Structure 1
Amino acid sequence: MKKIIAIFIIVGISLSFTTSKRVDALIKKEISSVFNIETFTKEAFVISSEVNNELPIKINDTNFFKIIHENAVIGYYYFGKAYGKADFFDFIVIFDNELIVSKVKVVTYREDHGGEVGSKRWLKQFIGTSSEKKLEYQEDIVGISGATISVKSMMNEVNKLLQTVTILNNKQQL
């Protein structure tokens, strides 16, 4: 019985790090909208394990991508997870080629409460943030009554991502 449970956990974890066709379509739509383009390619970002060990967020071939249009890198996007009160939710952060946040979108929210963290109005607060900025709760990012855990979790994950992008940029990895 323990082996069966372990198998389900392993399969569940591996599936949680891949995106569905619906999520891929949503990401494509958001990137097309941000950059006002119809076609682009994405390329998984590959860095050395030495550099990856220094990063607050570990980069792999399923979470950080270059956005390429007409043979030029026009930006980057990150597909991540943050924790709500009882479950993870998925989000994306799109950066322009100057590493400024262009869009943040909650892709999948799995809880009954706190879903307001996915509202366009609330997420607009992140737009224009430089990778070198550290966001502060109630200064840069306002709270949402009933969604405090999700708000803080999202802000913390974005802060870790901003630190990660800054380190990658300083190491000339981008």
Structure 2
Amino acid sequence: VKLRHNFRFKLLWLRGLCAVVIAAAGYLAVYPLALLQCVLPSQLKGGWGADIGIQSAYAEMVSTIDEVIRQVFPKADSIESTVHRLDFKMLFSLQKESGIEVDPAFDSQYRFFTVAQNGQTLGYAAEHTVLGKWGPIHYLLSIKPDGTIADVSVLDYQERRGRPISKSRFTRQFIGKSIADPLKVQTDIKGVTGASISSKGITDGIRKTLHVFNALYTDR
């Protein structure tokens, strides 16, 4: 009887172990794919308007970078991109100036676009990714030469309940704001109901991006 009891106990233990292994394998198979789209260099994504290609079942592509830039700056005849990589010292400075904790996985690289017509700068755009409730949120921040926000466009995201973050009723709140504004949820930005984490994530991301822009471009 004792042997039979031990055998049943071991069998139950093995079944439980198998369940944990299967669940972990499923998690590890999906979660890194969500992270890859924000970690891979932009050059590997196939250009300005290319879809990232590695997305979860909840990912939704909204717009392409080229489409957004030409909508915001319709007179543009030149769009040049530059990738800026931030070292530890720059990340530390960014955190200090913005008052927001930086995440090296998302904040170590920013891709900026200089938009011009006949050699005259019309504005800029910055490609950035932040972490939302369900995964990365990939967005484009368009900036006027004076440093004020011209547009915020969510390019793709993996939100289940936070889809309104891509709608104009949320993104238009940022238009006209600059580094001088608080840019904080529940202060000058109204978050999306049921998506407070994603609302804060993209708001903090925009604030950090403006500080990066200010450091790199305002003295030009």
Q: Look up the match of 1:12.
A: 36
Deviation of 1:42 after TM superposition, in Å, equals 1.6
Deviation of 1:155 after TM superposition, in Å, equals 0.8
CA contact (8 A) 1:104 1:123 kept: yes
* 1-structure distance, mates of 2:82, 2:192: 34
* 1-structure distance, mates of 2:122, 2:88: 26
- CA deviation string 1:19-61 (max 9, x = no partner): 453459722222222122253222316589698453347575x
Q: Look up the match of 2:164.
A: 116
Structure 2 unaligned regions, length at least 5:
1-27, 53-62, 96-101
Structure 1 unaligned regions, length at least 5:
none
Higher helix share: 2
CA contact (8 A) 2:77 2:117 kept: yes
Which of residues 39, 55, 65 is equivalent to 2:94?
55
* 2-structure distance, mates of 1:165, 1:150: 22
- Match status 1:64 vs 2:112: yes
TM-score (norm 2): 0.62
Q: Look up the match of 1:35.
A: 73
CA contact (8 A) 1:114 1:150 kept: yes
Deviation of 1:124 after TM superposition, in Å, equals 0.2
CA contact (8 A) 2:179 2:211 kept: yes
Deviation of 1:118 after TM superposition, in Å, equals 0.6
CA contact (8 A) 2:140 2:155 kept: yes
Q: Look up the match of 2:124.
A: 76
- Match status 1:44 vs 2:82: yes
TM-score (norm 1): 0.76
Bigger drift between 22-31 and 156-165 goes to 22-31
Deviation of 1:120 after TM superposition, in Å, equals 1.3
Deviation of 1:111 after TM superposition, in Å, equals 2.6
Secondary structure, counterpart of 1:42 in structure 2:
strand
Bigger drift between 115-124 and 65-74 goes to 65-74
* 2-structure distance, mates of 1:119, 1:35: 20
Total equivalences in the alignment: 164
Secondary structure, counterpart of 1:63 in structure 2:
strand
* 2-structure distance, mates of 1:106, 1:78: 12
* 2-structure distance, mates of 1:116, 1:145: 9
* 2-structure distance, mates of 1:43, 1:14: 17
Secondary structure, counterpart of 1:137 in structure 2:
coil
CA contact (8 A) 1:91 1:105 kept: yes
Change (3 A) 1:138 1:48: closer
Secondary structure, counterpart of 1:149 in structure 2:
helix
Deviation of 1:63 after TM superposition, in Å, equals 1.4
Aligned alpha-carbon RMSD (Å): 3.1
* 2-structure distance, mates of 1:29, 1:105: 10
CA contact (8 A) 2:143 2:150 kept: yes
Structure ID, larger Rg: 2
* 1-structure distance, mates of 2:129, 2:157: 10
Q: Look up the match of 2:64.
A: 26
CA contact (8 A) 1:45 1:59 kept: no
